């Protein structure tokens, strides 16, 4: 089912649900600049066997309102949008999963809206700034993004014709995928064509990169989180490589760290089964404990 949700300040968000309405809800929170279609249909279908799965387009992506330059916002406002989606769908509490920037937003939800979360799962992200020092994993020792990606990001937003833009995006996905799991260029090319058709444009928005990042230095507060949390270690992630996930898991007392071998920062078909299995094992254990009541 597709619908639109009012998120405030004139923003409307495209939302899609899958799975039976009486199943435990699972909200998927995507990364920066990414449409909800970034969640592969195959992953949504696997999760929807056990959950009412909710995916949506962030502001300035997909079919949601694009108005950043007229009505700018902060990254933290995107966490509020996730709550607005739950409110609009009359969902009191939900399992929530986020990757990349979505992982930062899930951390904000853990801090500001813990009563709305049955559980949390996050990967491809890092701990919020200001976290308590860790004697085993020092922040200064956390590696940055792969230099090959940094070089590609310098070209982001350059004027290219459609075929050149598609080629650039597929190559970007190739790097994000990592070097272990197989990479299918056709699969990611088809994804980009679907996203462009869904969005009605090939133009990449810079809104999330330009959004105010203040109010994100809240890592120290993660020490009080009690919501059952799964941190997925993606060993081939070229943006937040190990030990970023371990550092995040150590900052959240309720967190459990699970490695998905070969996982990078892309959700290709080879990544879907093990990632879905990890998420479902986590949500099932929470539901079995009776925490849905």
Please state, for a pLDDT cut of 70, what percent of the chain lies above it.
99
Look up residue 36 and give its DSSP letter. Answer: G
DSSP string, 121-170: EEES--PPTTPPP-SSS-GGGS----HHHHHHHTTTT----HHHHHHHHH
Greater confidence, 291 or 209?
209
Predicted confidence (pLDDT) per residue in 214-266, tens digit: 999 999 999 999 999 999 999 999 999 999 999 999 999 999 999 999 999 99
Distance CA(237)–CA(274), nearest Å, equals: 15
CA distances from 143 to 140, 147, 241, 255 (A): 8, 11, 7, 22
The overall average pLDDT reported for the chain is: 96
Distance CA(25)–CA(18), nearest Å, equals: 10
Q: Is residue 138 in a domain?
A: yes
Q: With 80 as the cut, is the pLDDT of residue 291 above it?
A: no
Task: Judge contact between 79 and 108, C-beta under 8 A.
Answer: yes
Return the structure tokens found at 64.
């949601």
- Return phi, psi of residue 245, to 5°: -65, -40
Q: Is residue 105 in a domain?
A: yes
Catalytic choice (57, 60, 77, 100)? 100
Q: What pLDDT, on the 0 to 100 scale, is given for residue 290?
A: 74
Q: With 50 as the cut, is the pLDDT of residue 79 above it?
A: yes
- CATH number of 64's domain: 3.40.50.1820
Q: In the block, which residue shows the tokens 């009690």?
A: 226
* Secondary structure tally for the chain: helices H, strands E: 9, 8
Q: With 90 as the cut, is the pLDDT of residue 204 above it?
A: no
Terminal Cα-to-Cα distance of the chain (whole angstroms): 26
Q: Is residue 124 in a domain?
A: yes
Q: What range defines the domain where residue 252 resides? A: 2-143+205-288
Q: Is residue 113 in a domain?
A: yes
Residue closest to 17 by CA, chosen among 38, 47, 58 = 47
Q: Is residue 109 in a domain?
A: yes
Is residue 237 among the annotated active site residues?
yes
Mean pLDDT of the 68-94 span: 97
Q: With 60 as the cut, is the pLDDT of residue 80 above it?
A: yes
**Band of residue 292 on the pLDDT scale cut at 50, 70, 90:** very low
Predicted confidence (pLDDT) per residue in 21-66, tens digit: 999 999 999 999 999 999 999 999 999 999 999 999 999 999 999 9
Overall domain count for the chain = 1
Q: With 70 as the cut, is the pLDDT of residue 293 above it?
A: no
Distance CA(227)–CA(204), nearest Å, equals: 35
Q: Is residue 69 in a domain?
A: yes
Return the structure tokens found at 231.
């941190």
Catalytic choice (57, 60, 233, 237)? 237
């Amino acid at each position: 089912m597709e619908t639109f949700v009012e998120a405030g300040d004139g923003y409307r968000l495209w939302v899609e649900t899958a799975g039976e309405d009486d199943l435990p809800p699972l909200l998927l929170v995507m990364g920066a600049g990414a449409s909800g279609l970034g969640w592969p249909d195959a992953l949504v279908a696997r999760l929807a066997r056990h959950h009412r799965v909710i995916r949506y387009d962030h502001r300035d992506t997909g079919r949601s309102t694009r108005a950043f330059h007229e009505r700018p916002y902060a990254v933290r406002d995107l966490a509020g949008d996730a709550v607005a989606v739950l409110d609009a769908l009359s969902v009191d509490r939900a399992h929530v999963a986020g990757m990349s920037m979505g992982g930062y937003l899930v951390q904000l939800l853990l801090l500001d809206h813990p009563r709305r979360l049955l559980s949390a799962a996050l990967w491809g992200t890092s701990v919020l700034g200001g976290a308590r020092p860790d004697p085993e994993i020092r922040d200064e020792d956390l590696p940055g993004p792969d230099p090959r990606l940094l070089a590609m990001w310098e070209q982001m937003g350059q004027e290219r014709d459609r075929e050149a833009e598609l080629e650039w995006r597929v190559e970007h996905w190739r790097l994000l995928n990592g070097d272990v799991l197989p990479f299918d260029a056709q699969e990611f090319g088809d994804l980009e064509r679907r996203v462009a058709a869904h969005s009605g444009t090939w133009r990449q928005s810079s809104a999330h990169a330009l959004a105010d990042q203040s109010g994100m230095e809240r890592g120290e507060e993660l020490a009080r989180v009690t919501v059952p949390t799964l941190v997925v270690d993606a060993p081939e992630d070229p943006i937040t490589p190990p030990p970023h996930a371990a550092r995040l898991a150590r900052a959240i007392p309720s967190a459990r760290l699970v490695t998905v071998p070969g996982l990078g920062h892309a959700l290709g078909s080879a990544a879907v089964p093990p990632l879905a299995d990890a998420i479902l094992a986590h949500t099932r254990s929470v539901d079995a404990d009776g925490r849905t009541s």
